[in-house]
Amino acid sequence: MRAFFLGWTAQYEQRFIAYLASTYAVEPLVPPKLAQRAQRKLNSLNKRLGAMRISEDWLGRMVCCLRQARPCDLLVCNEGQVRRHVNPAIVRAFPGRRVLLVRDLIDAAFLAEMKPLFDCIYSFDAQQCAQLGMRPLNQFFPLGFDEVRQGLGSPPAGGRAKKCFFLGRDKGRAAMLCALAQNLKANHCEADFHIVQDATTTLPSPYHVSQGMDYEQNLKRAQQAEVLVEINQPGQVGATLRALEAAYFGKKLITNNPAVKELELYHPANVFVLESQGASNVNQLESFLKCPLQALPEGVLYRYSPDFMLEQLMADAEAQRSAERSAR
CA angle 155, 156, 161 (to 5 degrees): 160
What is the per-residue pLDDT across 230-282, written as a single tens digit (0 to 9) for each? 988 766 666 788 899 999 999 999 998 888 898 889 999 999 998 765 556 66
Q: How far apart are CA 273 and CA 254, in angstroms?
A: 6
Residue 155 has pLDDT above 70, yes or no: no
CATH dotted code for 147-302: 3.40.50.2000
What is the per-residue pLDDT across 299-312, written as a single tens digit (0 to 9) for each? 999 999 999 999 99
CATH 3.40.50.2000 placement within the chain: 147-302
Q: With bands split at pLDDT 50, 70 and 90, how would you rate the model's confidence at 53?
A: confident
Mean pLDDT of 128-132: 91
Residue 69 has pLDDT above 90, yes or no: yes
Check if the beta carbon of residue 18 is closer than 8 Å to that of residue 45. Answer: no
Report the pLDDT value the prediction gives residue 252, as an integer from 0 to 100.
Answer: 95
- Overall pTM > 0.85: no
Report the pLDDT value the prediction gives residue 153, as an integer from 0 to 100.
Answer: 46
In the sheet that holds 162-169, the strands lie side by side as 208-209, 189-196, 162-169, 227-230, 252-255, 271-273
Least confident piece of the model among 3-12, 19-28, 159-168, 221-230: 159-168
Residue 206 has pLDDT above 70, yes or no: yes
Range of 23-37, 61-75, 150-164 with top mean pLDDT: 61-75
What is the per-residue pLDDT across 76-125, written as a single tens digit (0 to 9) for each? 999 999 988 889 999 999 999 999 999 888 999 999 999 999 999 999 88
CATH dotted code for 3-140+306-327: 3.40.50
